[in-house]
Amino acid sequence: MRLVAIVCSALLPSCVRHVPAPNTSGFGDRLRTRLADERPIDAASMPGARQLHFLFVGGFLNETIPGYFGDNLPVVRDELGATASTLFPPSGGDLERDAELITAEVLRLSDEHQKPIALIGHSKGGAAAVLAVLRDPSLVRSGRVEHVVSIQGALKGSPVADALVQSLPIPMLHAAFKGLGSLTRGRAEAAFRRLAVPPDVAGWSARRLHFVRSMETTGQVSQELGLTHAFLTQHGSGRSDGLLLEEDQWLPGLGHDLGVLRGDHAAFTIASPLSNGAAASRRAFTRALLEELFIVERD
C-alpha cells in the first residue's frame, strides 16, 4: 500500500498556487478578459449551447481527487441553463476501456435527454474522449456528439508515466493500474496512430474538436507537482504543466488547437480543499470556453 501511495502522490494534481494567466492566443485573450470580469455568461447569446447535454470526464486517479469539475459544472448548469453530468472512469482501466465507457455513456445520455452531447475531458479523460469519437465515427455522424474538448489531454502520454512504469517493475501493480501503463508515451501514441480517421470525421474535427493545452514555469506549480515538473524540464520541449509536456496535449493535423495557456495540471478543472487557487479562475475558464465554442461558432 505504501508503494501505491507513493505513485498516487507523484501523480495527484491537487493544488494550484496562482490564477492561471493565458498566453496571447485568441482563446488566451478571451480568458484574460474573463479573469477580469466575474459577470455570469450571457446565456441568451448562445442558445444552441443550452440545447446540449454537457458530459465532463475525469482523468487518472480521479477517485482520489475531491472537487473535480466543482467550479465548472455550476457555470454550465446555473449560468448557461444546460444539463450536465460527470463520468469518472476507474483508474485501473486503460485508454481504450475509458473510450468504451464514454461511448456507452454518450449513448445513454443522448437517449435519456434527447440532446446531442458536448464531451469535455481532462487529462486521461480528455484523451479518452477524443479516442471515443475517433474509434466510433457513428457518434459524430449520428449527431450524438456535437463537440469534444480535451483539456490538458494525455494524447501522447507522459514521460512521468514512462518513468513510473520503468521504476516499478511489479506485475501486480501494473495489472491493477492499467491506466498508468496506457499513459506511457508509446502506448498512448499507438492508441491514436493505428486509427484511420475518415475524411468526414477529420472535417468535423476541424470545427468541433478542440484542444486546450497548458504549461507553467518552475516555482509556480503546486508543491505536489514540483518534482514531476522538474523531471519534465529534462524531456522534450521541457515546457509542461507538471504532468504533461505541452506538445503531448494535442494531435497536430486534427482538430482545433486553442493554444497554450499558463496553468498547471489542476488549474482549470479541480476545486480541491488542498488547492489554494481561486475558484473564480476556474469559473472564468469555463465561461471563456463556452464563449469560444458557441459565440465564435455562431459568428
Is the pLDDT score of 299 beyond 50? Answer: no
Output the pLDDT for position 165: 86
d(C-alpha 209, C-alpha 147), whole Å: 6
Q: What is the pLDDT of residue 3?
A: 37
- Predicted confidence at residue 194, as pLDDT, reads 84
The answer to whether 251 touches 211, Cβ cutoff 8 Å, is yes
CATH domain 17-298 topology: Rossmann fold (3.40.50)
* pLDDT tens per residue, range 128-158: 999 999 999 999 999 999 999 999 999 999 9
Share above pLDDT 70 across residues of the chain, in percent, rounded to a whole number: 86
Q: What is the pLDDT of residues 49-100, one digit of tens each?
A: 999 999 999 999 898 888 899 999 999 999 999 999 999 999 989 999 999 9
Q: State mean pLDDT over 211-230.
A: 88
Extents of the domains making up the chain: 17-298
pLDDT digits (tens, 9 = 90+) for 14-34: 333 344 444 546 898 889 899
pLDDT (mean) for 45-51: 93
Mean pLDDT for 114-126 is 97
3-state SS, one letter per residue, for 198-220: CHHHHHHHHHHEEEEEEEECCCC
DSSP class of residue 123 equals T
